[in-house]
Amino acid sequence: MTKTEFRDSLIMPNKLQLLIGILTAFFILRGISLAQDYGDALVSGSIGDARNLIPILASDSASAEICGMIFNGLVKYDKDINLTGDLAESWEIKDAGLTIIFHLRKGIRWQDGTPFTAQDVKFTYQKLIDPLVRTPYSGDFKEVRSLEVIDEDTVKVTYKEPFSPGLSSWGMGILPKHLLEKEDLHSAKFSRSPVGTGPYKFKTWRSQEKIELVSNKDYFEKAPYISRYIYRIIPDESTIFLELQAQGLDSSGLSPLQYQRQTDTAFFKENYRKFRLESFGYTYLGYNLSHPLFQDLRVRQALNYAVDKNEIIKTVLLGLGKVCTGPFVPESWAYNKEVKESEFSPLRAREILSQRGWADHNNDGILDKDGRRFEFTILTNQGNLERQRAAEIIQARLKDIGIKVKIKVVEWSVFLTEFIDKRRFEAVLLGWSLGREPDCYDIWHSSKTKEGEFNFAGYANPEVDRLLEEARKTFDQAKRKEAYGKIHHLLYEEQPYMFLYIPDSLTALSSRFQGIKPEPIGIGYNFIDWWVPKAKQKYKAVFQE
C-alpha cells in the first residue's frame, strides 16, 4: 500500500462519518427520523363514551374500539381481510369443519403478569353461553358442542354441525379467568378497569371526559411505538372540529361538510391528512315492531316510498355515500345487487296508506285510523348532526303525506341503556358497523331479542330464521351467498328498518404520524406500527412515564 493509499484509508471513513452527520442533522431539522421512534400520544375525539370494557358485553362502537386495543382474540383480520392468527399462532380444521384445534402462542402474559393459557379460552366460552350473562354474541358459541382443553397451549372446539362463521367468531376478545371467575360480569369493577393481553393497557377512565391507555411494552408482537392513546369524549361534532383546528385532537371522524368544504385550507393541509374510505356499515331508521303503527308491513313499505334517500345523500352527505338496500354493503360478497331501491313516490305512499285505512278524518292534516293519529317520535343520539339532519328530512317528507314526526336527541350512553336496551322507543335512527363475516344472525334472528341483544326491533320471520341457520351450516360460499341474497331481498321487502344510506368513512389524522398504510381493511389495522419522529413529538413531557 502506498503512502497515499494509506492516507486515504484513514481520511475516507472520516468523510463518510461527516456525510452521515450532515444527513442526520438535515433529517432531524426536517422532522424526519432514520428509524422509527418511540413516544408521543395519539389523542382522538368521539361523540360517544364507552359503556363497558368487557369484550363479550361491549355492544357499542366506542366500547368495541377501546376493547380492541386492550384485548386479543384467537384470530383477527389482516390488511387484506383474511383471517390470521392472534392469540392462536395456528389452527387445524378437521372433520369437514366440525372441529377446530387452536394452537396458542406460548409465553403470552396478561398485563398483570399472569400467564395466558387455554383455561382463559375455556372460561370465556363458558361465559358466552351462560344464560345469566347478557351478551349479544352468544349465538355463535351456542353452536359449539364441546370445548376441550388438550393442554395449556391447545384448545379443541367441536361444533354440533358445520358452522361456517366458526373460525371468525373466535376473534372475540378473550377474558382473564384468574380475575373474573368469581365475579358477576354485570357488576364487576373490571368493566371499568380491564386487564387484557393487547398492545395497550388501561390507565384511567373519566366518564364523559376521556379514556387513557398506555403502551404495553411487553406485548407479544412488539411494543407499540405510540406511548399513549387518549380517547376524548366530546359530544358535539362542531366542537370536535374546533378541537382539530386548535390541534387539541390528532384524529377524529369528519362530517361530509367538514371533509368537503371546511378542511380545504393551508393550515389543515399542512397539519392533517384526510382519508375517504369505503364504509362497512349503514344508517337506518329502525322501527319498534311491537308498536301498533309499525306492525303492518304495507304501512312500512309506504313510509319507504315517502322518503327520498338520494335527497339525504345529496344534502346531508354531500354525495359522500350511497343508497342502502338491505343488511349488506356492496363491498361484501353476500350483497345482492338484484335488490333495487324503491322509487321515491309520495303518491304511491298515500295510496297504500289509504288502502290500509289511514285517512285525514279530522281535516287537521294528520292521518288517523280508528281514533289513532299517525304520529311518532324518531330517537337518535346526541352529537351526530348527520343523523339529526337525516331525521329532519324524514320528518319533512312524512309530513307531506300526513304523518307527524317528532325528533328526540339523547346522549349516547343514555340512549343505549335507557331506550335501546329497554325497548323504550317508537323509531330510532342509528347505524350498524358490520364485520367482514356476513353472518347477521345476532341482528335478525327471532331468538335474539333479549335485553342487551341486537334484534331490538323485534323482527321475526320464520323464513329469515331458516335462511340464517342454513347459511351457517355450510362452508360452500355459493350456497351461503344464495341464502344471504334471499335474506337481503326479504328484509328490504318487509322493511323492519327503513334502510337509508351507506356513508363513506371520513377521517382526519395529524400529519406528524408515520407508518399509515391504507388497505382494504382500513387504516387502523397496523396501529402498533404508527410512529412520530422525535422532532415532531408533542407530548414528550406530558405523557412521559
The CATH number of whichever domain residue 448 belongs to comes to 3.10.105.10
Q: Are 98 and 161 in contact (CB under 8 A)?
A: yes
378 and 287 within one domain: yes
What pLDDT, in 10s, does the model give residues 264-275? 999 999 999 999
What pLDDT, in 10s, does the model give residues 498-538? 999 999 999 999 999 999 999 989 999 999 999 999 999 99
In a domain? residue 544: no
Domain count, the chain: 3
pLDDT of residue 6: 32
Residue 545 CA to residue 541 CA, distance in Å, equals 9
In a domain? residue 38: no
Q: Does residue 494 carry a pLDDT above 50?
A: yes
What pLDDT, in 10s, does the model give residues 402-419? 999 999 999 988 998 899
323 and 249 within one domain: no
Which pLDDT band holds residue 301 (cuts at 50, 70, 90)?
very high
In a domain? residue 33: no
Residue 66 CA to residue 77 CA, distance in Å, equals 17
Q: Work out the mean pLDDT of the chain and round it to a whole number.
A: 92
Residue carrying C-alpha cell 422532522: 31
Non-local (6+) Cβ contacts of 47 within 8 A are: 233, 234, 235, 236, 237, 240, 381, 382, 383, 384, 412
In a domain? residue 18: no
**Single-letter amino acid code for the residue at 512:** R
480 and 522 within one domain: no
What mean pLDDT is predicted for residues 126-133? 96
406 and 296 within one domain: yes
What mean pLDDT is predicted for residues 251-257? 95
pLDDT of residue 340: 96
* CATH code, 137: 3.90.76.10
292 and 208 within one domain: no
Answer with the residue of higher pLDDT: 137 or 413: 137
Q: Pick from 162, 190, 218: which residue ends a domain? A: 190
pLDDT of residue 2: 41
pLDDT of residue 34: 52
406 and 311 within one domain: yes
Instruction: At 246, give phi and psi (nearest 5°).
Output: -85, 0
Instruction: At 404, give phi and psi (nearest 5°).
Output: -95, 125
What pLDDT, in 10s, does the model give residues 202-232? 999 999 999 999 999 999 999 999 999 999 9
In a domain? residue 256: yes
pLDDT of residue 452: 86
Domain hosting 101: range is 72-190
486 and 353 within one domain: yes
294 and 433 within one domain: yes
Q: Pick from 170, 190, 210: which residue ends a domain? A: 190
pLDDT > 70 in the chain, percent = 93
Q: Does residue 182 carry a pLDDT above 70?
A: yes
**Single-letter amino acid code for the residue at 434:** L
pLDDT > 90 in the chain, percent = 86
403 and 318 within one domain: yes
Q: Does residue 167 carry a pLDDT above 90?
A: yes
What mean pLDDT is predicted for residues 379-403? 96
Answer with the residue of higher pLDDT: 544 or 51: 51
**Single-letter amino acid code for the residue at 347:** L
Q: Are 302 and 352 in contact (CB under 8 A)?
A: yes
Instruction: At 32, give phi and psi (nearest 5°).
Output: -110, 130
pLDDT of residue 22: 53
CA 302 vs CA 106, 298, 361: distances in Å: 58, 6, 19
In a domain? residue 26: no
What mean pLDDT is predicted for residues 77-103? 95
Nearest by Cα to 412 from 285, 231, 235, 288: 235
pLDDT of residue 278: 87
Q: Pick from 190, 214, 245: which residue ends a domain? A: 190
401 and 256 within one domain: no
In a domain? residue 52: no
Q: Are 41 and 539 in contact (CB under 8 A)?
A: yes
pLDDT of residue 412: 86
pLDDT of residue 171: 97
Q: Buried (b) or exposed (e) across 341-351, using 16+ Cβ within 10 A?
A: ebebebebbbe
163 and 205 within one domain: no
* CATH code, 204: 3.40.190.10
What pLDDT, in 10s, does the model give residues 4-56? 333 333 333 454 445 445 544 444 445 444 579 999 999 999 998 999 999 99
Non-local (6+) Cβ contacts of 474 within 8 A are: 162, 164, 480
Answer with the residue of higher pLDDT: 349 or 7: 349
Quickly list H helices, 272-384.
297-306, 309-315, 346-355
458 and 372 within one domain: yes
- Which grid coordinates belong to 310? 338520494
In a domain? residue 46: no
Residue carrying C-alpha cell 363479550: 56
